[in-house]
Amino acid sequence: MNYIKEQNGQLWLTEDERENLKISYRIKEIIYSERSPFQHVMILDSYDFGRMLVLDGVVQTTSIDGHIYNEMITHVPLSLHPSPKKVLIIGGGDCGAAREVAKYEEVEEIHLVEIDELVVQACKEHLPEVSGNLSDPRVQYVYKDGVQFVKDHVNTYDVIIIDSSDPIGPAQVLFEYDFYKSVHEALKEDGMMVCQSQSPIFHMDVLKQTYANIRHLFPHVHVYTATVPTYPGGLWSFTLGAKQAVSFERLTTFAKQTKYANADVLNQCFCLPQFMKEHLQS
Ligand code: SAM
């Protein structure tokens, strides 16, 4: 694990983001470190971002800014859908997204399909600020590859949230066209999906390919953004696909208990900077 190094008596995690970009965090303590059949799972305590979940040396979520990502990937689709009863989360092992979905009384079932059980265990035990040690009875944990799971559940869900890691390792398949096609088939006729679609600054190729794939399947596709400090470049994108037209005015009445999302933020998150509009139109 060359991403954890001791320098002058100090412990540092260095994320190897790109050839010419490394992101380093000073670490107080390695709280948990285990290899699963899929990846290296670590919970670290850092000086500036509190506790963080790190998979194969890449920061996934932290106790300082994890809520920004988890609130934006959940409250947008859950507020836009007319009556979300059955919700599927693919990935999401830190349980932060499921915790936000559980804030909707009208939701009857939350299926969390995570390929790596070790991630859920580690986050429940060592990252309660994000996982909330979630024990809501509506949450069903399924430890399986999301690709196979959606194929086995046609016309089942109102909302599908793809809370995946980066398109490397086990998550690579979650960015492929065939997977989005299965997601489209797993949704009911008024269903909608959302996925994290990487950085518009550093991964525009992934965002454009994701947008193109989803536009090929869904009649209504909308990209929105949020700022997540521990994600490369800070600016992060989400792509939403809906089988029926989306009524954005539903966001004006948003009033859930949150730390980042509110009605103004949810309404403005679809206002894209010019470079993104031009790239997505080209
Ligand atoms: N918000 C984080 C991000 O944007 O980087 C991701 C959070 S969550 C921890 C990502 C989860 O996706 C991980 O726990 C990982 O094990 C899971 N995952 C990766 N590939 C998967 C697959 N094919 N099926 C189900 N879960 C998968």
Atom 16 in ligand 1: which residue has the minimum CA distance?
A: 116
> Which of 115, 153, 210 to mutate for ligand 1's pocket (most ligand atoms within 8 Å of CB)?
115
Q: What are phi and psi of 39, to 5 degrees?
A: -170, 170
Report how far ligand 1's centroid is from the alpha carbon of 124 (Å). 15
Q: Determine what percent of the chain is predicted with pLDDT higher than 70.
A: 99
Query: 65-281: same fold as 4-62?
Result: no
Of the two residues 193 and 169, the one the predictor is more confident about is: 193
Average pLDDT, the chain: 97
Which residue numbers belong to the known binding site for spermidine? 94, 163-166
Mean pLDDT across 211-234: 98
pTM of the model as a whole: 0.97
With 90 as the cut, is the pLDDT of residue 133 above it?
no
- At 172-196, the pLDDT tens digits run 999 999 999 999 999 999 999 999 9
Question: Can you list the alpha helix ranges (DSSP code H) found in the chain?
Answer: 66-80, 96-101, 117-126, 128-131, 146-151, 177-186, 204-217, 263-268, 274-281
CATH code for 4-62? 2.30.140.10
- At 239-277, the pLDDT tens digits run 999 999 999 999 999 999 999 999 999 999 999 999 999
Domain extents for the chain? 4-62, 65-281
The CA distance from 52 to 48, in Å, is: 10
The CA distance from 120 to 141, in Å, is: 9
Report how far ligand 1's centroid is from the alpha carbon of 33 (Å). 17
In the structure encoding, which two tokens stand for residue 112, read together?
Answer: 């969390």
Mean pLDDT across 118-146: 95
**What is 65-281's CATH topology?**
Rossmann fold (3.40.50)
- At 86-98, the pLDDT tens digits run 999 999 999 999 9
**Protein residues with CB under 6 Å of any ligand 1 atom:** 53, 60-61, 69, 90-94, 113-116, 119, 145-147, 163-166, 170-171, 173-174, 196
Mean pLDDT across 34-63: 97
pLDDT of amino acid 1? 62
